[in-house]
Amino acid sequence: MATNRIQTGIRFEPELLYKITQIAKSNKRSLNAQLEFLAQNCVDEYEKENGEIPLDEEALYSK
Q: Is residue 7 part of a domain?
A: no
pLDDT in tens, 13-63: 999 999 999 999 999 999 999 999 999 999 999 999 999 999 988 878 776
Q: Is residue 30 part of a domain?
A: yes
pLDDT in tens, 2-16: 577 889 999 999 999
Q: DSSP assignment of 28-52, as one string?
A: T--HHHHHHHHHHHHHHHHHHHH-P
Q: Is residue 23 part of a domain?
A: yes
Q: Is residue 36 part of a domain?
A: yes
- For the chain, the domain total comes to 1
The DSSP element (H or E) to which 9 belongs, if any, is none
pLDDT in tens, 46-55: 999 999 999 9
DSSP state of 55: P
Q: Is residue 5 part of a domain?
A: no
Q: Is residue 25 part of a domain?
A: yes
pTM: 0.82
Q: Is residue 3 part of a domain?
A: no
| Residue span of the structural domain in which 29 resides | 12-47
